[in-house]
Amino acid sequence: MVDFSFTDADKKIAALAREEAEIARGYSRHYDKHEDEIEPKMFDEVKDRPDPLEVLDSLESETSGRVIVEHLVTMETARGDVRMRRIKRHLGDKIVNYAGTEEQRKLFGNKLLSIAMTEPGAGSDPSMIRGTARCDDATGEWVLNAEKIYCSAFGASDGAFVFVRGPEKNGVRPFMGFVVEKGAPGLVELGQVKKMGIRSWDTADFVLQDCRVPAINKIDVDFKKTMIVFNGTRPGVAAMGLAIAGSLLEFTREKLFGKDHAIDYAKGIRTRSAIEDRLIRLEALYEATLLTILRCKWLEHRDGTNNGATKVEAAMSKALGGKAARKITQGCMELLGPEGLSEDYLAEKWFRDARIFDIFEGAGDVNRLIVARSLLDYSQKELN
């Protein structure tokens, strides 16, 4: 049976993350206004506080499971807008640790590596990737040329795991993956991207111009298998979007009814106010989305990570999470009226921040396609 009640250890770890998020709120507006600034590795305010993820290491046997609690921490942390501690693992190094040889894991497994797939013209559809790799037979090095955009965490990372097209074989240029470390000759960093929302989110562009990397940097990845890593991260990204929507929902409720007002949920639709009714509907969407995400993480805990078992549930979580983030924030802004637009509050920021969660880590439309293919038993060619 699915049991969504949390253990005392789960609650303790989540509460630690929530307390940090409350401290982080003090920096929300600063990083919204200074998007070129990369947050410190760790803020002074949390130096003497226990790291929620380290507490998870020590209490794991008393929790509902690592992936579930990691996810709770992700969600609570997102409520703070700004990270008080930089994350210790990125998608790129997860791929190296999962697909690399022992030597490659030793060399790159402990580095912070972003993932760089997106190019102008190649976002949802990676088959449009045009970056290239060729081998220089004289030196054994690989020579890479590509324009990579919107690379998360690249500003503070040690480099990126870059997807490009290898030399043509039987009329096809296969996907290839390389570790490109900062300082590699030919890597030109273009700096932070100016964004509408999540401005504290380190996001950078870079170009590879005849960028040379040693042969050991080529990770032997199967593109489809690599995509399996996203089954673990999609629910987490959905949860972040939902957490931001949750912040705006809490704020809206307080603004409309005050801190201590308790909505009577047992009242019928005829006796409660229209405003209460609209708020309840947004809360219901929030709860339904949270349960969808938790169910996905519970399945991952039961059936394993990085084996494709939760592909559909991860896509469902992300599709619903992105949609809920948009609908809840939009609904709250309608309820708040002009006050929602004032920079005196964070409401307008949360409204901007939430939008991206239906775009990256698989846009909503693309995740709905994954779910539909599975339900209707269509191949990617038949339904795209």
Q: Which residues bind ligand FAD (CB under 6 A)?
A: 114-118, 123-124, 150-152, 195, 201, 203, 356, 359-360, 363-366, 369, 384
Residues facing residue 208 across a β-bridge: 146, 187
Our CB check for ligand FAD shows the closer of 55 and 315 to be: 315
Shortest separation between residue 228's beta carbon and ligand FAD, angstroms: 16
Nearby residues of 337 by Cβ (< 8 Å), 6 or more positions away = none
Integer Cα distance of 142 and 210 in angstroms: 9
Q: Which residue is nearest to ligand FAD (CB)?
A: 123
Phi, psi of 207 (to 5 degrees): -125, 145
Shortest separation between residue 47's beta carbon and ligand FAD, angstroms: 28
Our CB check for ligand FAD shows the closer of 71 and 199 to be: 199
Residues facing residue 145 across a β-bridge: 132
Residue 63: C-alpha distances to residues 90, 137, 301 (Å)? 24, 53, 11
Shortest separation between residue 268's beta carbon and ligand FAD, angstroms: 38
- Give the H/E segment covering residue 8: helix 8-24
Nearby residues of 109 by Cβ (< 8 Å), 6 or more positions away = 93, 96, 97, 100
306 CB-contact burial (10 Å; exposed 0-12 / middle 13-18 / buried 19+): middle
Residue 218: C-alpha distances to residues 207, 215, 327, 347 (Å)? 18, 6, 42, 45
Our CB check for ligand FAD shows the closer of 31 and 298 to be: 31
Shortest separation between residue 117's beta carbon and ligand FAD, angstroms: 3
Our CB check for ligand FAD shows the closer of 36 and 260 to be: 36
Our CB check for ligand FAD shows the closer of 77 and 152 to be: 152
Shortest separation between residue 303's beta carbon and ligand FAD, angstroms: 26
Shortest separation between residue 245's beta carbon and ligand FAD, angstroms: 17
Our CB check for ligand FAD shows the closer of 49 and 130 to be: 130
